[in-house]
Amino acid sequence: MYVRKDSDLSRNKTDRQLIELLTHSLANRLLQIGLLLAGFLLVWKNLHATLKFDDAFMFYRYAIHMREGLGISWNLDKVHTLGLSSPMWCAIVWAASFLPLAPGQVLVLASSFSTFGAVLAIAVAIVLNAKSPILKSVTRVTFLIVLPPLCLSGMFLANSRSGMETMFAVAINGIICGAVWIWSREPSKTHAWIVGLASLAAFLTRPESALPSLIVIALAALLLSREQLHFIDAFLPICILCVGISIYIIACKLYFHDALPLAFYVKRHQFYLGYIGQKRPVLRALQFFAACSASLFLLVWLTTLKQLRILVVFLIPLLAVTLYLCTIVQIMGSNSRYYLPYCPYIFFPAMMVLDESLAVGEGFRVNDPLLRLCMSVFLFSVIGSVLPDKVFQKLDDFAEGRRVRYAEAQRVEEAKAPLPPVEWDQGWMTITDLIIAKLPKGATVAATEVGYMGAMAPQVNIIDLSGLNNPQIALNGFSMETMLKQKPDLVWLPFPDYTYYRGVFFDSTEFLSQYTVFDGALTYGIALRKDSPFYAQMMAGMQHIWAKEYGGTRMEDYEVQSAHWDRTPIPL
């Protein structure tokens, strides 16, 4: 009788355990299915949205020319061009370009899948390093995948469909954080190689990543190791990174005849003199930290004195790269895309501090001396709405230095009223689809917004007036005389924010005499070379544009007859 009772109890206990296991497994599977569906919907939505990030299309043009045997070249002349600072992303786009999709869809698909890779890399890094039962189980990885998108919200989603390397860089930095943590606890040559190679991959994705990588490796070797490291073991990852960077620089020198991306020279030659579109680097940095305020809150709330080393190891590299990024020219830096790649340096240590708290059974403890700091971090999340914009404006002015603008050139024409402006993305799509994409192979155009037209018209030579993809302009500066010798068939004048650059064009009598210039066409102004063999074809395209955008006005009235430009800079 007692045996039967014990047997019944044992059977009931086993049944309960089986039910709990099945319930947990079912809940986990449902969550995984839900995440897959959410991911599918995200990709589907991204693929059917218009890609409005012009710079992303530059990668596709390079990919097409590589497939055509031109090498890494911007134009058909096979001149190797170091116009892109992310060779890793260029390789990914090249591979994806074989898919039977439109250029914009290829780029969005690549950034969308990189987003999945980013959240998975962070989640796996946490699981492999966790000690608490809640976080170390691989079955919890699906829960952790949800956290980064929720914490970064709109900023995260916007960069998931930008077509740029941003989310791929997040994935690489997530791997670095997890690998460094493992290496600091279990130093070995295998772990050292993983850390070094991951850091090199981060550099090849975004060059400034070398700065936080070097710092985090050095600090981890000094502060986190639980056993004495030999000199070679401690600095092997740094040696791997430095040797890899050296090999890359030498290869660039041999292949491109220059070791640095053209963007480095562009900024040195003051292409942004008179640029009036403020980049707001400090404000965007604060927006990034505000988006990560949940992780910052965890760090301040849960970190004890014994865990301060964790903050030092990960937050000092983050601070260093943030300060550096505040000093560069952040054209096209919306949605804090320059800072977002380094979110693992906040998210990973926050989860490690939480894991240690859970591992010792303390849960979410409240540390009274830090309570006020916690409140300050909470307030930081709404700092943008509390402090006046003038505070951020002064910080941004300090970061960007002295800024000036130049007056628009005074143009003489028959028109009495300016043309209405066209949205900038609509502008580069319209001029490309209706004129440039229809030009025959070998035709030449010039513009500052060259991404979309470069991808959609790979058969056309493009003079990148911004210098980012033009070695001649980047190394020697822009010369109107040199450009006129190249005889571009069409010139889409510089973006209106380039006040100095635009003045140089209208101040050139040779330019105005050789080109028919339609003032304000597609906002920037369009110039057609009068003796071009494609003049009639381009003029027909202009008439199509005029009928589409400016019905009720005469195209001839907006032909610029002469212009006068005052070169006096005006302080902003």
pLDDT tens for each residue of 476-493: 888 899 999 999 999 999
pLDDT tens digits for range 184-212: 888 888 899 999 999 999 999 999 999 99
pLDDT tens digits for range 504-543: 999 999 999 999 999 999 999 999 999 999 999 999 999 9
- Counting runs of H as helices and runs of E as strands, what totals does the chain give? 25, 9
Q: What is the rounded CA–CA span in Å between residue 517 and residue 511?
A: 9
Give the neighbor-by-neighbor strand order of the sheet with 490-492: 461-464, 444-447, 490-492, 526-529, 515-518
Q: What is the rounded CA–CA span in Å between residue 350 and residue 181?
A: 13
pLDDT, mean of residues 270-275: 76
Q: What is the pLDDT of residue 3?
A: 46
Percentage of the chain exceeding pLDDT 90: 48
Q: 565 Cβ partners below 8 Å, 6+ apart?
A: 406, 407, 409, 410, 503, 506, 507
Question: How many CA atoms within 13 Å lie on the side-chain side of 354?
Answer: 19
Q: What is the pLDDT of residue 369?
A: 44
Q: What is the pLDDT of residue 145?
A: 56
Tokens in use for 447?
């513009």
Element at 463 (helix H, strand E)? strand 461-464
pLDDT, mean of residues 57-75: 95
Three-state DSSP string of 144-189: HHHHHHHHHHHHHHHHHCCCCCHHHHHHHHHHHHHHHHHHHHCCCH
pLDDT-derived band at 124, boundaries 50, 70, 90? confident
Q: What is the rounded CA–CA span in Å between residue 513 and residue 483?
A: 14
Q: What is the rounded CA–CA span in Å between residue 348 and residue 353?
A: 9
Q: What is the rounded CA–CA span in Å between residue 288 and residue 342?
A: 10
Range from 28-32, 336-340, 448-452, 554-558 carrying the lowest mean pLDDT: 28-32
Q: What is the pLDDT of residue 274?
A: 80
Tokens in use for 284?
């965007």
pTM score: 0.86
Distances (CA, A) of 489 to 41, 255, 360, 480: 43, 30, 71, 15
Tokens in use for 185?
């606890």
Q: Is the pLDDT score of 388 beyond 80?
A: no
With vertex at residue 291, the alpha carbon angle to CA 288 and CA 296, rounded to the nearest 5 degrees, is 95
Q: Which of 473, 482, 434, 491 is nearest to 457 (CA)?
A: 434
pLDDT tens digits for range 328-372: 877 777 778 899 999 999 989 988 888 887 776 654 444 444 454
DSSP state of 568: -
Q: What is the pLDDT of residue 315?
A: 94
Q: What is the pLDDT of residue 385?
A: 45
Do 233 and 192 contact (CB within 8 A), yes or no?
A: yes
Q: What is the pLDDT of residue 544?
A: 94
Sign of the Cα pseudo-torsion (405, 411, 417, 421, in order): negative
Q: What is the pLDDT of residue 368?
A: 45
475 by Cβ neighbours in 10 Å (0-12 / 13-18 / 19+) ranks as middle
Tokens in use for 201?
């991959």
Q: Is the pLDDT score of 43 beyond 80?
A: no
Alpha helices in 381-508 (DSSP H): 383-386, 389-400, 424-434, 451-456, 471-476, 480-486, 499-506
Phi-psi region of 522 (alpha: psi -120 to 50; beta: other; left: phi over 0): left
Q: What is the pLDDT of residue 45?
A: 74
Q: 352 Cβ partners below 8 Å, 6+ apart?
A: 126, 129, 130, 181, 310
Q: What is the rounded CA–CA span in Å between residue 452 and residue 437?
A: 10
Give Dmax (Cα) for the chain: 111
Tokens in use for 178?
């997890």
pLDDT, mean of residues 166-177: 95
The values of phi and psi at residue 571, to 5°, are: -65, 145
Do 212 and 241 contact (CB within 8 A), yes or no?
A: no
Q: Is the pLDDT score of 1 beyond 50?
A: no
Q: Is the pLDDT score of 290 beyond 60?
A: yes
pLDDT-derived band at 147, boundaries 50, 70, 90? low
Strands 461-464 and 562-564 turn out to be unpaired
Q: What is the pLDDT of residue 569?
A: 83
Q: What is the pLDDT of residue 363?
A: 47
